[in-house]
Amino acid sequence: MQHLADLVLLLVLLTSFLILGTTRLTTCIRAVAVQGGLLGVLPLVLEPQWSAHTLGLATGTILVKAIVLPWFLTWAIREAAVRREVEPRVGYIASLILGVVAVAVASAVATRLPVPGDHPILLLATSLSCVIMGLLVLATRGKALIQVVGYLMLENGIYVFGLTSVDRVPFLVEVGVLLDVFVGVFIMGIVVFHINREFDSLDSARLTELKD
Amino acid sequence: MLLAALVLVPALGAAGAYGRPARHGAWLVAVAGVHLSLVAWAWLAPPPAILDGWLALDPLGLVVLTVVSALFFVVATYAVGYLRRERGGRGFASWLLAFLAAASLVAVSHHLALLWVGMEGTTLAFAPLIFQRRDRRSLEAVWKYLVISSVGIALALLGTFFLATAQGDLGPGVRPLVLDDLVTGAAQLHPAWLKAAFVFLLVGYGTKLGLAPMHTWKPDTYGESPALVAGLMAGGLTSCAFLGIARATEVTTAAGLAAFARPPLVAFGLLSLAVAAAFVIGQSDIRRLLAYSSVEHVGLLVLGLGLGGVGAYGSMLHLVNNALVKGLLFLAVGNAALAAASPRGGLLRAVPASGVLLLVGLFAVTGSPPFGMFLSELTILRAALGGGHPWIAAAMLGLLALIFIGIASMILEMLYAPAAAASPPVRESRWLLVGPAALALGVLVLGVAIPGPLQDLLAHAASALGGVAP
Amino acid sequence: MTAGPLVSLVAVLLLAPALPGVATKTKSLLTGRHGAPVLQLHRDLLRLLRKGAVYSTTTTWMFRLAPVAGVVTPLLAGILLPLDGRGAVLQFSGDFVAFAALLALGRFTLILAALDTGSSFEGMGASRDAAFASLVEPALFLCFVVLILATGQLSLSGMLGAAPAPSLAMVAVSLFFVLLAEASRMPVDDPATHLELTMIHEVAVLDHSGPDLALLLYGGALRMALFAALPVSVLVSRARLAVPLALAALLAGMVMVAVVVGIIESSMARLRLGRVPQFLVAASVLASLGVILQLLT
């Protein structure tokens, strides 16, 4: 089980790097969908015996993160008819290298903090890496949809960490987290739709009218 | 029962309002009135905790609840007049009431994850409200608001999870993430996780609060929303976000890590004051100016919290004052905009009543006696001096002076400078005036003589935060 | 020197030209064609050796040195690899640096020979080749770092016998990317292109003919074989197998790698030139991840 969990976490990290390094919007969305699916599998792999709670959580996560949200984002892309990203403020190669730095920092922090339960240390490192990489994508990318993908990555990182307290923090809050992601992305998607209509592009670098 | 009602009444009100054309603010006022009377009942007969201690009303929560409810009621009465002039948009009343429900949840929630759910609710409730005008600028504003606020909320969630991890393996009868158990079991909290939790909660909820450097969404958002929405955000949303930070401080102080928690609070507070001072001078748009003023005041809130001693009491008093004054200012500014008065000059002649209110607001927000903010700022200053931080006190005074200059120059110009085109004085609706006037009166009362029960409540709240009453 | 390593080396030397053939055959089959036979390169080499060479008047001794270096350097590098799963023909502490240096030397002479012709196409291709080579070196060394951390051994013979672990999976993938870059396969370079403007490695061998070309082609195949042997050795720990079985496993693994290369060639187009550095940095990123993982566990 330990190796399986490590493998899943590794794949989560790899999908994050894929999002950091790819130019195509559809690849980003597919990568975040795969990440969502992996996250759904993760609780099943971490717990040796599966309770109804774990199964419910896994199903809910896969449903929301791997199916509904990516579908919704793909719909938004189709509406906006965007394909490619322009070179972001921080270039792709620099983004990849920053991603490695993020993983290094996250791992360094993870070795300092005692991991709750007997979960692998890779769990903490992965969660913090995803958080940092999600923030990186949010901060450096121009297209609004990619920023939403970055936000999803951030939430995924938080979710991975939340799995360490699955037995302690009750069901209500996990549903709350999923709901948060769902509604947040939904609202963002609607706004993105409007942005595309208003500005004829999804380049949030164009959103510069309001300033001091 | 009462606690549940505090959350459910506005929630049901929101559901009921959705879909109806928001022509009449009557529904808003009615629900707001019921909510306010529930809060009054809570003052008279403190309700017991329910749901295994997840919902409970302690002094800190009651302060925030009262402030938000009162402000909301005033905004609701204002909305009656507002909705007669402007198109409300579908779901306007609904989203406002949704905010009230979420804010009530934040105030009565003793389970920190439930508090987070409430904060998330406030974030989402405001998004459509900011987007009321549906033009390019408000679209840009709502996008920035959503992105930055969502990141802040996500970081706060991570901080909440860290806090749960700090609790470690729970003993028998210890409830995870419940405030009372966190405080009583504070000595057993794992220090490294607790520190990490505090940092993330401070940054996360600080983003919602509008602390510098996470404040960048504020000017755009306050500038593009309808005035009453901006007023509600400046008074209500900030109070809720401050409650989040206050809870984190409460737990950290109980665990004996106050020395760790204080410096970041002071740092963020001073930075916010500095940023506000820098951007207030030479500001051309009144609403953006007020946004930076809001940054200043939340900076003061956090500064007071970080200074300890009487600073905590000062912060709580400032919380109340800030809500009232910001409401007053934004509503008055909104009146000027509704009357289509020129933004530069001649306001006193065009809309005399609102102009006077704006003048009152100017003095109130910059901390002049006899208004309430003078007392709260003085208390925080005393905390700085009493705690042996003369430099902090000096910096605070200097920055407040700069901000005074900036705000005063703009508002005085708006009021007194001769207008470009002499517009005839507009007859102002009663509904649009009674709200801000009540708020102005409230600020004056707080500056002259704080009512006894309120003083007791503030003192209790301050002691929970590790401070003392003056 | 025992027989095992020597026999393995000879086997790899004989098999090497078949690897490009396997890749091309896979690609042909996947695109619905019969394709050339797997041993085509062997036949081409024998044919070319019988021919005469033509030399341009602008070239100097560098041009004639490159083919020789192109065969000798991979051969010497092959001596350092533990092809039989136990030990290499020659091993010493730090031989992985010599390994990388020898292969880099071969590439370097080829680049110089291309510049030697004085033609702009060759110069362009050579500069691209050099740029990509410099981007790939860090990946290769980072992979070696992971192996050193995993095994504590400073010699290739010790490094390549580690037990499987997730960090080593990353290393294997990274080494595969390195293979694609060093052997000039897709998506770094298209071996089947005939447009000089799109050539990277191909253009460097454009001017050679006859036995020189044979030596260069053989050297290229040998490099591919060596780089294919690396990920196979990392993934499959052959230290406990009997020597014939270990050798067979290695050869089978190399053929599988060639098949995967063929699959990739049939499904992807060459990356836009500006995107190739990104791909190569991705190889370094994977290797760095491997380092971090190795340090974590």
Q: What is the mean pLDDT of residues B43-57?
A: 84
Q: Which of A118, A151, A173 has the most B C-beta neighbours within 10 Å, making it the best mutation to test the interface with B?
A: A173
- Domain positions in chain B are 275-470
8-state DSSP, C203: G
Please check whether residue A123 touches B, CB under 8 A: no
Name the minimum distance, in Å, from the CA of C275 to any CA of chain A: 9
Q: How confident is the model at residue B22 (pLDDT cuts 50, 70, 90)?
A: low
The pLDDT of residue A101? 94
The closest CB to that of B176, out of A168, A176, A184, belongs to A168
Q: What is the mean pLDDT of residues B7-19?
A: 82
The pLDDT of residue A206? 65
The region of weakest confidence among B319-323, C59-63, C195-199 is C195-199
CB within 8 Å of A23: residues ≥ 6 apart: A84, A85, A92, C275
Q: How confident is the model at residue B389 (pLDDT cuts 50, 70, 90)?
A: confident
The pLDDT of residue C150? 87
Phi-psi region of B367 (alpha: psi -120 to 50; beta: other; left: phi over 0): left
Q: How confident is the model at residue C17 (pLDDT cuts 50, 70, 90)?
A: very high
The pLDDT of residue A61? 83
CA angle A39, A42, A47 (to 5 degrees): 150
Residue A50 three-state SS? coil
Q: Are A116 and B165 within 8 A, CB to CB?
A: yes
CB within 8 Å of B319: residues ≥ 6 apart: B63, B64, B67, B239, B242, B301
- DSSP helix, strand, coil percent of chain C (3-state; round to 5): 70, 0, 30
Smallest CA-to-CA distance from B188 within B201, B162, B170, B206 is with: B170
Q: How confident is the model at residue B67 (pLDDT cuts 50, 70, 90)?
A: very high
Q: Are C295 and A107 within 8 A, CB to CB?
A: yes
The pLDDT of residue B50? 82
The pLDDT of residue A201? 63
| Closest-CA residue of chain B to A203 | B140
Smallest CA-to-CA distance from B286 within B193, B382, B414 is with: B414
- Domain positions in chain A are 2-206
Q: Are B161 and A147 within 8 A, CB to CB?
A: no
The pLDDT of residue B152? 92
Q: Which of C167, C281, C286, C291 has the most A C-beta neighbours within 10 Å, making it the best mutation to test the interface with A?
A: C281
Range of the domain at C182: 3-296
Q: How confident is the model at residue B142 (pLDDT cuts 50, 70, 90)?
A: confident
Q: Are A97 and C295 within 8 A, CB to CB?
A: no
The pLDDT of residue B128? 86
Tokens matching residue B92: 């306007």
Beta carbons within 10 angstroms of residue C64's beta carbon: 15
Taking the mean position of all CA atoms in its chain, how far away is CA B421? 36
Tokens matching residue A13: 């990290």
Which residue has tokens 């930055």? B148
- C293 in Cβ contact with C170 (< 8 Å): yes
Number of Cβ pairs < 8 A linking chain A and chain B: 106
Please check whether residue A199 touches C, CB under 8 A: no
Please check whether residue C114 touches A, CB under 8 A: no
The pLDDT of residue A70? 86
The pLDDT of residue A131? 93
Q: What is the mean pLDDT of residues B30-39?
A: 90
Report the run of H or E that residue C49 belongs to, with start and end.
Answer: helix C40-50
Name the minimum distance, in Å, from the CA of A22 to any CA of chain C: 9
Q: Are A177 and B143 within 8 A, CB to CB?
A: no
Q: Are B143 and A191 within 8 A, CB to CB?
A: yes
DSSP assignment of C248-276 equals HHHHHHHHHHHHHHHHHHHH-PPPPGGGH
Q: Are C166 and A10 within 8 A, CB to CB?
A: yes
Q: Are C293 and A111 within 8 A, CB to CB?
A: no
The pLDDT of residue B425? 66
Q: Which of A15, A17, A96, A130 has the most C C-beta neighbours within 10 Å, making it the best mutation to test the interface with C?
A: A96
Smallest CA-to-CA distance from C136 within C98, C100, C96, C97 is with: C100
Name the minimum distance, in Å, from the CA of A158 to any CA of chain B: 6
Chunk chain A into consecutive blocks of 10 residues (it has 212) and report each block's average pLDDT, rounded to whole numbers: 81 92 85 91 81 81 85 77 66 89 92 76 90 91 83 88 70 62 72 69 66 67
Name the minimum distance, in Å, from the CA of A29 to any CA of chain B: 18
**Helix ranges, chain A (H):** 2-21, 25-46, 52-61, 69-80, 92-112, 121-140, 144-162, 171-199
pLDDT tens-digit series, residues C162-184: 777 778 888 999 999 999 998 88
pLDDT tens-digit series, residues B219-231: 989 988 888 899 9
The pLDDT of residue B341? 60
The closest CB to that of B164, out of A165, A184, A210, belongs to A165
Q: What is the mean pLDDT of residues B389-402?
A: 89
CB within 8 Å of B369: residues ≥ 6 apart: B447
- Positive or negative, the CA dihedral B335, B339, B343, B349 is negative
Name the minimum distance, in Å, from the CA of B143 to any CA of chain A: 7
pLDDT tens-digit series, residues C212-252: 999 999 999 999 999 999 988 888 777 677 778 888 888 99
Task: Using an 8 Å CB-CB cutoff, list chain C residues near A13.
Answer: 289
DSSP assignment of B206-224 equals HHHHT-TTS-THHHHHHHH
pLDDT tens-digit series, residues C264-291: 988 888 888 888 888 899 999 999 999 9
Residue B303 three-state SS? helix
pLDDT tens-digit series, residues B175-196: 778 888 888 888 888 888 899 9
Whether cis (ω within 30° of 0) applies to the bond prior to C187 is yes
Q: Are B154 and A151 within 8 A, CB to CB?
A: yes
Predicted TM-score (pTM) of this structure? 0.86
Report chain B's C-alpha Rg in angstroms. Answer: 21
Task: Using an 8 Å CB-CB cutoff, list chain A residues near C292.
Answer: 100, 103-104, 107, 125
Chains A and B touch (3+ CB pairs under 8 A): yes
Burial of C211-228, coded b for 16+ CB within 10 Å and e otherwise, reads bbbbbbbbbbbbbbbbbb
Restricting to A residues 84-113, those with a Cβ less than 8 Å away from any Cβ of B are 112-113
The closest CB to that of A93, out of C281, C295, C297, belongs to C281
Q: Are B151 and A112 within 8 A, CB to CB?
A: no
Chains C and A touch (3+ CB pairs under 8 A): yes
Please check whether residue A118 touches B, CB under 8 A: no
In terms of Cβ atoms closer than 10 Å to its own Cβ (0-12, 13-18, 19+), residue A52 is exposed
Tokens matching residue B455: 């003083």
Q: Which of C135, C291, C296, C297 has the most A C-beta neighbours within 10 Å, making it the best mutation to test the interface with A?
A: C296
CB within 8 Å of C47: residues ≥ 6 apart: none
Q: Give ipTM to 2 decimals.
A: 0.88
What are the two backbone dihedrals, phi and then psi, of residue B285, each rounded to the nearest 5 degrees?
-105, 130
d(CA C199, CA C122): 9
Phi-psi region of B345 (alpha: psi -120 to 50; beta: other; left: phi over 0): left
Total domains, chain C? 1
Q: What is the mean pLDDT of residues B12-22?
A: 74
Please check whether residue A159 touches B, CB under 8 A: no
Tokens matching residue B116: 């987070």
The pLDDT of residue A84? 61
